[in-house]
Amino acid sequence: MSQAPNFYFNSSTEKPYLIITAVEAEKEALQRGLGGDNRFVLAAAGVGPASAAAGAAAALAAADYRLVISAGIGGGFVGRAPVGSLVIADAMIAADLGAETPDGFISVDELGFGSSRIAAEPELSARLAEALQAAGHPVTTGSVLTVSTVTGTAETADRLVRRIPGAAAEAMEGYGVAVAAAGRGLPVLEIRAISNPVGPRDRSAWNIIDAMKALESAGALLTEVLP
């Protein structure tokens, strides 16, 4: 883990919700939206699927939780999730877990080594998406791809959406968090606030400020939607 998880005291008798972000800025944006709701415990576990899985697993070993949420900024596939919008995952997909061949990519599923897809908890995901829509926030439901390398060309972006037609966004942590949650039999959600389009590397196309505001809005609605 590149950053130590920051655990917050929770006085409720109910098991809390665990939210794993990559960096402190994402955690703080969510905390602003959550407004001190002590049902939530947040940890910034570092960038990438390995740090995310290790951070989530450590938090889950230390206390009991009822739900795990992977949240942060992400890239939106063009025409599906614009910058500033939110994506609520229907599934977390390890998009680069497999083997490259001269004829194309073979997923870990096709190789017979497990599954590259973990489904999000459908009812809560739908409720959160509906609440965001009702609040007037642009939101898309679709698969969130977990990659170890940020996509940096139009060719790679096209290849990903052709191979995974339901892809709405990509980020680097969701599948790692989902593996840790699945290891404990816990439901999982992923929320991505879109900071940039997936495609040719262009730092000027990034809008971290709007993405952090969107993450804050998602935090505020989580307090209403979760039981």
Distance CA 181, CA 183 (A): 5
Letter for the amino acid at 168?
A: A
Q: Looking at 61-69, 99-107, 170-178, 214-222, which segment touches ligand LNDFFVEH (CB under 6 A)?
A: 170-178
**Looking at the DSSP assignment, which residues form a beta bridge with residue 100?**
105
Q: Looking at 55-63, 111-119, 131-139, 169-177, which segment touches ligand LNDFFVEH (CB under 6 A)?
A: 169-177
Binders of ligand LNDFFVEH in range 50-109 (CB under 6 A): 72-75
**Looking at the DSSP assignment, which residues form a beta bridge with residue 191?**
71, 88
Residue 9's contacts (CB-CB under 8 Å, 6 or more residues apart) are: 38
Q: Looking at 9-17, 119-127, 147-155, 156-164, which segment touches ligand LNDFFVEH (CB under 6 A)?
A: 147-155
Closest C-alpha among 143, 52, 140, 147 to residue 98 = 147
When asked if residue 19 is in the footprint of ligand LNDFFVEH (CB under 6 A), the reply is no
Binding ligand LNDFFVEH by CB under 6 A: which of 2, 110, 201, 205?
A: 201
When asked if residue 214 is in the footprint of ligand LNDFFVEH (CB under 6 A), the reply is no
Nearest residue (CB) to ligand LNDFFVEH, 131 versus 144: 144
Measured in whole angstroms, how far is the alpha carbon of residue 179 from the centre of its chain? 12
Contact criterion met (CB below 8 Å) for 103 and 189: no
Query: Cβ of residue 181: shortest distance to ligand LNDFFVEH, in angstroms?
Result: 17
Q: Tally the residues of the chain.
A: 227
* H/E segment holding residue 168: strand 167-171
Q: List residues near ligand LNDFFVEH by CB under 6 A.
A: 22, 47, 72-75, 147, 150-151, 170-173, 195-196, 198, 201, 203
